[in-house]
Chain A
Amino acid sequence: MSVVIDRLSVTYSPGAPVLRELSLSVTAGEWLGLLGPNGAGKSTLLKAIAGLVDHTGSIRLRGVDTASIRHRDRARCVAFVPQEPVIPPGMTVAEYVLLGRTPHLPYLGTEGRHDLSVASSALSLLNLEQFANRSMAALSGGERRRVVLARAIAQQADILLLDEPTGALDIGQGQNALELIGYLRAERPMTIITAMHDLTLAGQFADRLLLMAGGRIVAEGPAQQVLTAEYIREFYQANVEVVSVNSGVAVLPIRNGAR
């Protein structure tokens, strides 16, 4: 499902817009990586696409303006995984994953057989069957990430928005999380937009990168074009060296000044 955004602006407090007349398009099945320093507007852009913040300008999903569709229908198209998902204490993995069926149920309805089978295939897709009856509180950080992804998969949305999918994970878990997203995309076609801080991983996994600063898009394209030492110095105020590796580019932070 394609996403086309035209002159999108979001303002939380008057006079200080977080997104400024931003336009972009994402083709169906593409993985777009959003980059940018803290406060650039990455999370806000994801939330705007998910319909969680008021905005001006238009967002079209497969050509349909989101202003004209109901909130629930939008949730059937767009699944959003926040940076720090709320983990309800005491809830089991199965109960949590079933929450992903909410947009498909009547307002006061409960899950039926079909919802159970969708949730159980989401669990098996992420290799979580053995956790189904375990409490969310008993899982490790990496396992929780997978359960949260399973909930998003159970939502059966074509567009998956992930805010910092590797945040708070160690290097191995972070890599696994992204491999998993790549695997999910191969299993069922999805458009994926991730906001990421790890530039090297973003460059290796996303099809296209979009660098944001101050609520605007400042660069976009493949990793080689966006991940340059100049851009990173200008927008992150970071001193880095960008090196070519087999799978793309790697961004290495370099200490300023002499040791």
Chain B
Amino acid sequence: MSDPATGLEPVRLRWGWLVAMVVLLLAAMLAGITVGPAGIDPGQVIGELLGVGLAGRPSTLTSIQQAIIWEIRLPRVALGGLVGGLLSLAGASYQGVFRNPLADPYLLGVAAGGGLGATVVIAMIPGAGSILLPLAAFVGASVAVALTYAVGRSIGGRSAVSLILAGVAVAAFFTAVQTYILQRNADTIRQVYSWILGLLATTGWREVLVLIPYAAVCGTGLVLHRRLLDVMSVGDEEVDSLGISALRVRTTVVVLATLATAAAVAVSGLIGFVGIVIPHTVRLLVGVSYRSLIPISAIAGAAFLILADLAARTVASPAELPIGVITAFVGAPFFMVVLRTSRRYVA
């Protein structure tokens, strides 16, 4: 639909890159479901997923193999995909509304709040783990961001910088409380530490089902804001002069991105680097427009985390490495290479 007179192209989703990322995601999922101590070959996995899952034909696998695919690996791959997608989506959105390339999903105190919530449950209510822990992490993360928002408004009104500074203060405070609790309950340090490094542990499909509504609402909401995120790149004053309230856009996007992050943190702990590495890498591939960046980052983040999780459970098998270690270990050097090869964005 380019304009005949000048050949002006509309700003739109880069479909080629979207399809490429979907293919990558499918390949990552297949690898995630196939690779593991119980060897099931890819052909059998595809046959099982398509034949049994979609066509309803009787399975050719043993019941143990079936259980491994449907109850262990598939939920884990689905969880990795959702968490990676949500973190990457939230990171891209934060970078947009704060016009800050360093913004990550944990910017406004989500990590510290979630960490405190988890620590309180682990230290004070032993054995309450799998049900109470995600809830406490979610509540802690939400409270921290709400507090950041209230403090930010009271110190600097509408500016983005005051919000970021408030986030720093709130995070410092929550971390101090968390450290105090940890220090008084030294026996729980190991458990808290493993939560902080991130873990995609599943108990069947429960975590996935918990995340799906958040992914649907936040994903839809943020995709709808893709053009407004482009508008936000000219700064609050000019955004306002274009008839859009920058404050309203920022508030809505921050609420959606925070919900997405808090939900991800609640089920998987603090998985670093996804929210910053993936959106930047995607930006270098597809350009700075959020119309491509938002959907493609989400898919790329999903693929990345599935592969990182695959590495986390195979590299030191049978032991499992914390996934946060993998994302940083692989992500950091990869990010440096990406930044070096394309300096135009940074400059």
Would you call A55 an interface residue if the criterion is a C-beta within 8 Å of the partner chain's C-beta atoms? no
Are A113 and B242 within 8 A (Cβ)? no
Instruction: Report the bound CA distance from A231 to B300 in whole Å.
Output: 64
Are B233 and A116 within 8 A (Cβ)? no
Are B231 and A102 within 8 A (Cβ)? yes
* Residue numbers in B under 8 Å from A207 (CB-CB): none
Would you call A227 an interface residue if the criterion is a C-beta within 8 Å of the partner chain's C-beta atoms? no
B226-253 vs A, CB cutoff 8 Å, 1 = contact: the mask equals 0110110111011011111100000000
* Residue numbers in A under 8 Å from B9 (CB-CB): 94, 133
Would you call A137 an interface residue if the criterion is a C-beta within 8 Å of the partner chain's C-beta atoms? yes
Instruction: Report the bound CA distance from A155 to B239 in whole Å.
Output: 13
B contacts with A, residue count (CB < 8 A):
36
Instruction: Report the bound CA distance from A103 to B242 in whole Å.
Output: 6
Are B8 and A120 within 8 A (Cβ)? yes
What distance in Å separates the Cβ of B143 from its nearest Cβ neighbour in chain A?
29
A147-171 vs B, CB cutoff 8 Å, 1 = contact: the mask equals 0000000010000000000000000
Quick one: which of A73, A91, A120 contacts B6, CB cutoff 8 A? A120
Quick one: which of A72, A73, A108, A121 contacts B227, CB cutoff 8 A? A108
Are B245 and A91 within 8 A (Cβ)? no
> Which of A60-68, A78-86, A185-193 lines the interface with chain B?
A78-86
Would you call A181 an interface residue if the criterion is a C-beta within 8 Å of the partner chain's C-beta atoms? no
* Residue numbers in B under 8 Å from A105 (CB-CB): 227
Quick one: which of B2, B242, B283, B347 contacts A100, CB cutoff 8 A? B242
Instruction: Report the bound CA distance from A139 to B11 in whole Å.
Output: 20
A120-162 vs B, CB cutoff 8 Å, 1 = contact: the mask equals 1101100001001101010000000000000000010000000
Are A102 and B288 within 8 A (Cβ)? no
Are B11 and A111 within 8 A (Cβ)? yes
Quick one: which of A52, A103, A111, A137 contacts B10, CB cutoff 8 A? A111
Instruction: Report the bound CA distance from A70 to B240 in whole Å.
Output: 12
- Which of B12, B344, B347 has most chain A Cβ within 10 Å? B344
Are A108 and B225 within 8 A (Cβ)? yes
Instruction: Report the bound CA distance from A229 to B9 in whole Å.
Output: 53
Would you call B34 an interface residue if the criterion is a C-beta within 8 Å of the partner chain's C-beta atoms? no
Would you call A206 an interface residue if the criterion is a C-beta within 8 Å of the partner chain's C-beta atoms? no
Are B288 and A90 within 8 A (Cβ)? yes
What distance in Å separates the Cβ of B237 from its nearest Cβ neighbour in chain A?
6
Would you call A119 an interface residue if the criterion is a C-beta within 8 Å of the partner chain's C-beta atoms? yes
Would you call B224 an interface residue if the criterion is a C-beta within 8 Å of the partner chain's C-beta atoms? yes
Would you call A172 an interface residue if the criterion is a C-beta within 8 Å of the partner chain's C-beta atoms? no
- Which of B2, B9, B234, B287 has most chain A Cβ within 10 Å? B234
List the 7 closest pairs (A to B, CB-CB), nearest first: A75-B243, A72-B243, A90-B288, A88-B233, A103-B243, A86-B235, A120-B6
